[in-house]
């Protein structure tokens, strides 16, 4: 019986080792504890393991998708973007399976709300928090305290124009 349990644990070990606490955004003393966006591909491989899917896009980007935990939808749980030229992490996205309240990540005094106004009167809101190290935390689809979201994005402010040019423009405007 001991041999059976040892074998079962060895088979399950890769599943448990893939769920790395560094993959989950959290707060420690009011500060975001997640990625610093200085990590290299090798460092991410050591902490999160190999991605489920990897694809190059644009002229200088590579995206890694992870499926951590059980999910009923087809979305990746995590999506990381690296620069091909230097191998550095520039963005980390956490896709939740269901809506989540994220106010702990966006203290009212440190968060702003921005809105994309598209064709046919389509509006999309994003809650933004500026962080140390030139990073931005985005709550996609959330506008104010109490709003929930299915997606958090951590991105280098210097890279925002490549992915959300409308938001980069709004953040450059004086208040």
> Residue 110: which residues within 8 A CB-CB, separation 6 or more?
129, 130
Q: What kind and span of H or E run contains 166?
A: helix 165-172
Number of Cβ within a 10 Å radius of residue 55 = 10
Confidence check: pLDDT of 58 > 50: yes
Domain ranges of the chain: 28-172
Q: Per the structure block, which two tokens stand in for 61?
A: 């980007």
Q: Are 137 and 151 in contact (CB under 8 A)?
A: no
- pTM for the model stands at 0.85
**Backbone torsions φ then ψ of 16, nearest 5 degrees:** -70, -35
Q: Are 77 and 128 in contact (CB under 8 A)?
A: no
The whole-number average pLDDT for the span 39-47 is 94
Residue-wise pLDDT tens digits, 70-103: 767 778 999 999 999 999 999 999 999 889 999 9
Alpha-helical (H) ranges within 22-92 are: 41-48
Residue 113, pLDDT score: 94
CA distance 26 to 2: 38
Estimate the share of the chain in helix, then strand, then coil, as percent rounded to the nearest 5: 30, 40, 30
Residue 140, pLDDT score: 96
CA distance 92 to 48: 13
Q: Tell me whether strands 135-140 and 61-66 are parallel, antiparallel or unpaired.
A: unpaired
**Residue 64 pairs with which residues in a beta bridge?**
54, 80
Q: Per the structure block, which two tokens stand in for 73?
A: 């939808």
């Amino acid at each position: 019986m001991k041999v059976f349990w040892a074998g079962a644990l060895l088979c399950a070990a890769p599943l448990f080792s893939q769920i790395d606490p560094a993959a989950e955004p959290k707060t420690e003393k009011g500060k975001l504890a997640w990625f610093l966006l200085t990590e290299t591909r090798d460092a991410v491989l050591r902490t999160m393991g190999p991605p489920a899917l990897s694809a190059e896009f644009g002229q200088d980007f590579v995206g890694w998708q992870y499926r951590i935990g059980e999910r009923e939808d087809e979305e990746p749980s995590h999506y990381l973007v690296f620069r091909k030229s230097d191998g550095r992490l520039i963005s980390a996205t956490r896709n939740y399976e269901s809506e989540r309240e994220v106010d702990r990540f966006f203290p009212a005094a440190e968060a702003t709300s921005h809105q994309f106004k598209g064709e046919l009167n389509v509006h999309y809101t994003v809650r933004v928090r500026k962080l140390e190290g030139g990073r931005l935390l985005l709550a996609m689809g959330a506008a104010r305290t109490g709003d929930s979201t299915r997606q958090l994005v951590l991105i280098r402010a210097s890279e925002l124009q490549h992915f959300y040019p409308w938001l980069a423009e709004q953040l450059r405007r004086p208040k």
